[in-house]
């Protein structure tokens, strides 16, 4: 929800541009997720001579990030604890986040696409504001029956892992639609 000077204005939608006409003066602009979570806010001062354009990044505060190059939507954090391959698939399938219910595990190639050659401050080689706590399961079956591919953003490696192995493997979910 967009709130201007304490008054709700309208619902914000990721990837949509919203233009407001505000009178000169100081204004408190807030973006609050309807499903709960962190609120974004900024105070701006407008004059007739100095119009401003303001960009509000909705994704991170709502728990998701949209990769600008692929347009795929990612949860901003993995599930935080070890899961087997089937548990990870179920976790994403049953996830409701920011009003979306169409989450799934990414393919091994999707995971590779958000991998970087250098590590971020958290030690992970990943683009975007994603918080990871271990290896990430993919939806891609492994090389042997009963295995699934997992990706390590610590070193950029892939491994075909026994589907029942839950130790370091997590679920980082993805949405393929942008509606």
Q: What's 165's domain CATH number?
A: 3.10.100
Domain residues for 25?
A: 2-58
Same domain, 120 and 168: yes
Band of the pLDDT at 16, cuts 50, 70, 90? low
Same domain, 97 and 113: yes
Same domain, 110 and 156: yes
Number of domains in the chain: 2
- How many helices (H) and strands (E) the chain has is answered by 3, 11
Strands (E), 64-179: 64-66, 73-75, 135-141, 147-152, 157-162, 169-170, 174-175
d(CA 58, CA 142): 35
Same domain, 7 and 88: no
Same domain, 50 and 121: no
Same domain, 18 and 71: no
Same domain, 71 and 158: yes
Q: What is the pLDDT of residue 37?
A: 46
In this predicted model, what pLDDT tens digit does every residue of 87-102 receive, in sequence order?
A: 999 999 999 887 788 9
The yes-or-no verdict on residue 35 having pLDDT over 70 is no
Last residue of a domain, one of 41, 58, 75: 58
Band of the pLDDT at 36, cuts 50, 70, 90? very low
Same domain, 43 and 122: no
């Amino acid at each position: 929800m967009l709130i201007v000077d304490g008054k709700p204005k309208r619902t914000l939608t990721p990837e949509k541009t919203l233009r407001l006409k505000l009178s000169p003066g100081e204004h408190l602009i807030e973006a609050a997720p309807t499903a709960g979570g962190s609120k974004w806010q900024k105070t701006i001062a407008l004059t007739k001579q100095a119009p401003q354009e303001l960009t509000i990044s909705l994704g991170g505060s709502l728990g998701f990030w949209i990769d600008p190059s692929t347009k795929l939507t990612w949860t901003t954090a993995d599930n935080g604890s070890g899961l087997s391959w089937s548990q990870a698939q179920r976790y994403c399938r049953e996830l409701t986040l920011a009003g979306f219910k169409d989450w799934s595990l990414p393919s091994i190639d999707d995971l590779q696409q958000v991998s970087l050659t250098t590590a971020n401050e958290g030690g992970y080689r990943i683009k975007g504001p994603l918080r990871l706590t271990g290896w990430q399961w993919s939806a891609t079956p492994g090389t042997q029956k009963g295995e699934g591919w997992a990706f390590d953003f610590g070193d950029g490696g892939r491994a075909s892992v026994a589907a029942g192995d839950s130790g370091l493997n997590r679920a980082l979910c993805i949405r393929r639609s942008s509606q």
